[in-house]
Every structure is written in C-alpha cells, then in structure tokens.
C-alpha cells in the first residue's frame, strides 16, 4: 500500500496530465463511439426499368434516379437510388437480367417496364407473364416493390389498350404492391416536359415525375424502415 500522501499526489498529477488529453479528444469520441458509429446503413432503392428511368439523352444528374435520390435525401431519407435501367428493354428483357442487375442488399425496387412492349405491339399476355415473374422473384427475395404503370396509346386500338392497361393494377393487387398508375402522368402530353420525340421526359419532365411519384416512394420507404 502506498502512503496516503504519496497516493494523493500521484492521483493529482495523473489528473493534470490526462484530463487535458481527454478534453482535446472529446469532440472525436461521439464520432467514433457514439450514435454515428451505429447509424443504420442507407437503404438501397433500385430504379429497374427502361429509357424512361435510365435518363435517355439526359446528363446523369438529370436522370430519374439521381433526381429522386436528391428529393428523398432533402426530405430526410437515408437512401441511395441505383440506376439499373436499360434503354430499349421490354418486360421480358428485364426478366432476363433481373438476377444480375439487382445486387445483394437491395431493399426496394421501382419497377418501370412495359412501355417498349406497348410501342412494339407485343401481346399483352407476354408482358404480363414477364412482369408477373419479376414480381414473384422480388417477393421471394423479400424486396419491396413500387410498380410504375404504363398506358397504351389510343392508336393501338381499344382491345389492345384494355388488355394492356389492366396488367399493372391487377398485378399490384396480386402482389399487394403499391402502384403509381402511369409513370408519365402529366408529362407525356405536355409541351416543354418532353424531348423532341414527345414521349421521353426532359430534365423538367423528370422533376415533374419525381414530384408526383415521391409520396408513393416515401410511403414505401417508411414501411421498410418501420420493420427494421
């Protein structure tokens, strides 16, 4: 045992030497050991579609995934939006590349396919079968899906439009998935919101789409966060 006086002197000296060091590094302690060190990783949301979500003829920062990510983060969501869309893809093309396009850790998907099927006049039964298979695989992987619907152009005739248009709400009901009825709603027929082709959104059109679909996306992300 140390003599009481010597022990007190040692403790006093130790405090003098150590306390300033603790104060010096105190601002760093929360960053290393506090809540930030245990913060949940960002949710991974994948835009899985065709040229409408790929950003056809647009700079990368004006494409749908980038604009959506910016809007979500502005609203406080810790999320990364991945662009896994390929221009020209049909629903069957999407099915063929689904497994390697969606990496591990995918939490949610915005499924936007079918526009090219419609433009090529592909039998709606084929489109339905491919989208059904995609949704079944995503469900098996426990990945949440927001279905972005498409509508047939009137030029294809009433019978085609009826068969095509009902694909999306019926599959949404089957898989109990949220549905955004028409991805190009309030964009495709409005001047100043599309490219020269009259269908693909320009930068302003993408912002319009994001603003309109945002509540559906945020509701899906909240549902995911509530279960984690």
* Residue-by-residue DSSP string for 139-173: HHTT-EEEEE-----GGG-HHHHHHHHTHHHHHHH
> Which of 115, 210, 94, 213 has its CA nearest to residue 165?
115
User: Could you confirm whether 197 is annotated as catalytic?
Assistant: yes
User: Could you confirm whether 51 is annotated as catalytic?
Assistant: yes
Q: Rounded to the nearest 5°, which phi and psi values hold at 156?
A: -85, -5
Give exposure, 101-118, as e/b (b: 16+ Cβ within 10 Å).
Answer: bbeeebbbbbbbbbbbbb
Of 38, 142, 155, 197, the active-site residue reads 197
User: Could you confirm whether 101 is annotated as catalytic?
Assistant: no
Of 50, 85, 89, 200, the active-site residue reads 200
Of 51, 92, 107, 117, the active-site residue reads 51
Known catalytic residues are 51, 197, 200
């Amino acid at each position: 045992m140390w003599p009481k006086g010597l022990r007190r002197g040692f403790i006093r000296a130790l405090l003098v030497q150590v306390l300033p060091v603790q104060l010096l590094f105190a601002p760093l302690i929360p960053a290393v050991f506090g809540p930030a060190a245990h913060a949940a990783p960002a949710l991974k949301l994948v835009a899985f579609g065709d040229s409408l979500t790929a950003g056809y003829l647009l700079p990368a920062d004006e494409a749908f995934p980038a604009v959506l990510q910016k809007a979500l983060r502005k609203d406080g969501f810790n999320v990364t939006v991945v662009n896994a869309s390929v221009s020209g893809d049909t629903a069957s093309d999407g099915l063929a590349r689904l497994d390697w396009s969606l990496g591990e850790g995918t939490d949610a998907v915005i499924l936007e396919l079918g526009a090219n099927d419609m433009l090529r006049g592909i039998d709606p039964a084929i489109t339905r079968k491919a989208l059904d298979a995609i949704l079944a695989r995503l469900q098996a992987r426990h990945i949440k899906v927001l279905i972005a619907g498409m509508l047939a152009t009137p030029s294809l005739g009433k019978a085609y439009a009826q068969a095509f248009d009902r694909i999306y709400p019926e599959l949404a009901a089957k898989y109990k998935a949220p549905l955004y009825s028409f991805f190009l709603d309030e964009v495709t027929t409005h001047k100043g919101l599309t490219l020269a082709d009259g269908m693909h959104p320009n930068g302003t059109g993408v912002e319009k789409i994001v603003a309109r679909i945002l509540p559906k996306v945020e509701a899906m992300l909240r549902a995911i966060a509530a279960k984690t």
